[in-house]
Amino acid sequence: MRTIRILPCLLFLAGAISAQNAQVDWNKPFPPHKVIGNVYFVGTAELGSFLIVTPEGDILINSDFESTVPVIRTSVEKLGYKMTDIKIILGSHAHGDHMEGDALMKELTGAQVMAMEQDVPALRKMMPGGKPHPIDRILHDGDEVKLGGTTLVAHLAAGHTKGCTTWTLKAQDNGKTYDVVILGSIGVNPGYILVGNKDYPQIADDYVRSFRVLRALHCDVFLGAHGSFYNLPEKYAKLQKGGPNPFIDPDGFKAHIDRQEKAFLAKLDEQKKAATN
């Protein structure tokens, strides 16, 4: 079939391209809010962006599309914080709907942009308006990013992209410590080639490893690069009613991983059978 001949590297952008086509919807504002401790949501109705506030400046996870940056700015300011206090910009993975805005965000904040080593080649090609993609620090699996008493750990959970990163940190809230997990992505996008991928031969092995890595993480608070990963609208509605913090959801994290692994294994089996026919 003709579609099989499409370069795998282009297929990796499938999610970003479809996201770009739908960015008017995905840039729809969503109420910024405190998640827990010093962790705040500043993204859109579907794009998960998070502000980690510290006494020495703030950390932003996911700049999203370049067109999303003004939405993030509005959310940050609604919470009473300043864009110029952002000192570090991190990302979940090298798709446009999560890291395209890095250059503009750096222009507005002067912050350092950090990215996982395996995603650097893809990010270098991400140049909205011809602007070079800034990368001030290249990260590796297990690296720590520290600021103002907060430590984030970068966990390589490759497959969705070669450098897909899940971030973890500890948040203090009401005298308790919570393990926060901000999932990059472990999904298999339409068009992904899991068998015989010349551009990414180890993609299936990486997925298998990543499911193992994610299951080993201790999670109290489940967040993600898309609000749909962790049922953001429903949980935010519950948050407004008071009571227990709905974002404390270890079972939801496990259930999401289970669903994604089941989908991955089904797609892998389908492609293996197709390859032998």
Predicted local distance difference test score (pLDDT) of residue 2 = 30
Q: What are the residue ranges of helices labelled H in the chain?
A: 8-11, 14-21, 23-26, 69-78, 96-99, 102-109, 120-124, 203-216, 232-241, 250-276
Residue 14 has pLDDT above 90, yes or no: no
Range of the domain at 190: 2-276
Bridge partners of 198, per DSSP, are none
Q: What is the CATH number of the domain that holds 238?
A: 3.60.15.10
Q: What pLDDT, on a 0 to 100 scale, did the predictor assign at position 19? A: 41
The predicted structure's pLDDT at residue 235 = 98
pLDDT digits (tens, 9 = 90+) for 43-70: 999 999 999 999 999 999 999 999 999 9
Q: What is the mean pLDDT of residues 107-127?
A: 98
How high is the pLDDT of residue 167? Answer: 99
pLDDT tens-digit readout, 233-258: 999 999 999 999 999 999 999 999 99
Domain count, the chain: 1
pLDDT at 15: 42
| Over residues 208-218, mean pLDDT | 98
Average pLDDT of the residues in 176-180 = 98
pLDDT of residue 44: 98
CA distance 224 to 43: 11
